[in-house]
């Protein structure tokens, strides 16, 4: 499972656990704690990924990246974003200079 479809499958699993009892899964517990907690966990995982990227073994970077992606998918589900929405945005940007793309959003 090394292709992007694993994210689609993860998203489906996350959605299926959204309505579950908070004590039945970690995902359900995150949803029960609300958007702020989900976003905070995403931030924590981002920092852990950065720290790993600064000097830990590649396996640790991969592990932290997986945690980061999981929490990102939970946030997508909370906000009503599907992986296809993200893939479409990436496709829209494909072939565009990163500097030009940022400038078009006023974030240069």
Short-list 82, 80, 89, 63, CA closest to 10: 82
Question: What residue has token string 């905070």?
Answer: 40
Q: Which three-class secondary structure string do you get for the chain?
A: CCCCHHHHHHHHHHHHHCCCCCCCCHHHHHHHHCHHHHHHHHHHHHHHHHHHHHHCCHHHHHHHHHHHHHHHHHHHHHHCCCHHHHHHHHHHHCCCCHHHHHHHCCCC
- Cβ neighbours around 61 below 10 Å, total: 17
Using one digit for the tens of pLDDT, what is the confidence trace for 50-101? 999 999 999 999 999 999 999 999 999 999 999 999 999 999 988 877 676 6
Integer Cα distance of 84 and 73 in angstroms:
12
Burial (Cβ within 10 Å: 0-12, 13-18, ≥19) of residue 12: middle
Architecture of domain 5-82: Orthogonal Bundle (1.10)
pLDDT for 97 equals: 73
pLDDT for 10 equals: 97
Sorted by where each begins, the domain ranges of the chain are 5-82
- pLDDT above 90 (res 3): no
pLDDT for 108 equals: 53
């Amino acid at each position: 499972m090394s292709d992007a479809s694993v994210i689609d499958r993860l998203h489906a699993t996350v959605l299926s656990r959204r309505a579950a009892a908070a004590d039945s899964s970690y995902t359900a517990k995150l949803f029960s704690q609300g958007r702020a907690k989900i976003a905070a966990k995403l931030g924590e995982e981002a920092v852990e990924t950065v720290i790993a990227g600064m000097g830990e073994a590649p396996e640790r970077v991969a592990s932290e990246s997986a945690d980061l992606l999981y929490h990102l998918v939970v946030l997508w589900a909370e906000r009503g974003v599907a992986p296809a929405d993200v893939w479409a945005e990436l496709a829209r940007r494909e072939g565009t200079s990163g500097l030009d793309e940022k400038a078009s959003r006023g974030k240069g």
